[in-house]
Amino acid sequence: MSNDEYILEVKNLTKDFPGVRALDSVDFKVRRGEIHCLVGENGAGKSTLMNVVSGVLPRSEYEGVVVFKGKETNYRSTRDSEQDGLSIIHQELTLSPYLSIYENIFLGHMKTRFGIIDWDTCLKDSYPLLKRVGLREPPQTIVSKMSVGKQQLVEIARAISRNAELLIFDEPTSSLNDEESENLLNLIREFKKEGITCIMISHKLDEVLAVADSITILRDGLSVASYDLTKAPVSQQQIIKGMVGRELKNLFPKKEPDIGDVVFEVKGWTVHHPDYHDMKIVDDASFFVRKGEIISFCGPMGAGRTELMMSIFGNSYGYGASGEIHLHNKRVTFKNPKDAIEQGVGYVSEDRKSLGLILIQDVKTNITNSSLPKLSKRGILNKNLMRNKAEEYKESLQIKTPSLEQLVRNLSGGNQQKVVLSRSLLADPDIFIVDEPTRGIDVGAKYEIYSILNDMVKQGKSVIVVSSELAEAISMSDRIYVMNEGKIKGVLDRSEATQERIMHMALVD
């Protein structure tokens, strides 16, 4: 079954997660020695595909065949795939932060003599590797002291130290600046000359077109198109069309906008990475929202949308935030989330399990947690009022739970999301920020969540949605802010927004 032309062949691959089919009979072929780019929207299945290929998901977890170097793979973990010459460089760096460069490079496969680590040899061997990846730092440097770009080079050095024949880069430039990105792309071209095959996942189409020999597009778990650029060129428009080209069905409730004056405005907001203080995660972002308006923030993962919102919401993210917040035409500051909530701003996190809910508590307690001062007198709770309020939201948001005493961990994703929404709504915010409100919940529950947001604006409140689903953003919002690389790249009106335009604005302009 071996075909020498292809180093990697994926045939008829299907992978199910509970409730979601992440990959649906995907075919994917990579020729030996080429640079193959994998593109697709958030959630299209790119990372899942790479997790299957590299053994993060073991053989028993998927259906289909993966052939690497002419042999069907049976990896139990990435350790097996690395031994086979296949390495993946993750979007999130996986270095051990307090170890030095050369310790990190040889972590897990140290040079040993009689079972004792031979650090001298490790150190000696690290020099040529660092030279190859173009990192000019002494190998003894502690990696957490270096920039993310340099850390990534260490990660690459680590991969090639294991004689990798196939390198997979998962969004390698998402946290790099322009110069670092250019260097990285050059490095990938170097690897190609040396005969190493590279797969690159990327959201940045100009980069893709600059380096790719082949491009495969995934959409909703399907491999929709494959282009061989050595035979015929491909345009950005074609790729974008392939990425988003799904039909819009009637998935959204109708909204009749009744928009008033500006109630909330953020000017020149900048925030830095919590650990790397010189790295800007949000760069000079300004936006406003009007009474009765829904606005959305779109852009690829890592664009800085969540970070922007959390840092506005009482410094819940990052370091050294600066900028101005105006609420009802008055300059305000939010010291902490409590402050923000008291002044009428609510925030619902995208990560409902670890930042939104208290999983070991029941529905009633979770709903009331933000509003206890209002539900009490001189510090003593009015338990009947608490119960009535919880009951009221259970009814109006149609939370499906056997009782208010049910632990939220036992609810479905959609119902958990409604509990978080209830908690924020009970605190009665004027400005309601919801981060990925429909992530990981089914279509029916999505529709209900949209209706809740619509009801809010009908009552004269304002809603800010962070969404990675373009269709959702376009159908739900009055205006769409497009972000990438920490900057607001532009804003589109409901009437002029199309998925292609948003994608174009984020990735190209």
Binding site for other proteins (CB under 8 A): 313, 316, 336-338, 340-342, 347, 349, 354-361, 365, 368-370, 372-373, 376, 379-381, 383-384, 387-388, 403, 407, 410, 423, 427
Burial label for 233, CB within 10 Å (0-12, 13-18, 19+), is exposed
CB of 18 to other proteins, least distance (A): 16
Q: Are 154 and 107 in contact (CB under 8 A)?
A: no
Q: Pairing between strand 431-435 and 462-466?
A: parallel
**Nearer Cβ to other proteins, position 77 or 336?**
336
In a 3-state reduction of DSSP, which class is residue 284?
Answer: strand
CB of 375 to other proteins, least distance (A): 8
CB of 372 to other proteins, least distance (A): 4
324 has which bridge partners? 267
CB of 340 to other proteins, least distance (A): 8
**Nearer Cβ to other proteins, position 193 or 335?**
335
CB of 469 to other proteins, least distance (A): 23
Q: CA angle, 334 as apex, 333 and 337 as ends, to 5°?
A: 175
CB of 453 to other proteins, least distance (A): 19
Nearest CA to 176 out of 157, 203, 199 is that of: 203
Q: Pairing between strand 35-39 and 431-435?
A: unpaired
Task: Residue 444: count other Cβ atoms within 10 Å of its Cβ.
Answer: 10
**Nearer Cβ to other proteins, position 160 or 390?**
390
Task: Residue 275: count other Cβ atoms within 10 Å of its Cβ.
Answer: 11
User: How far is residue 414's CA from residue 186's CA, in Å, rounded to a whole number?
Assistant: 45
**Nearer Cβ to other proteins, position 154 or 404?**
404
Q: Tokens at residue 507, please? A: 């990735």
* N-to-C CA span, the chain: 45
CB of 376 to other proteins, least distance (A): 5
**Nearer Cβ to other proteins, position 357 or 474?**
357
Longest CA pairwise span in the chain (Å)? 77
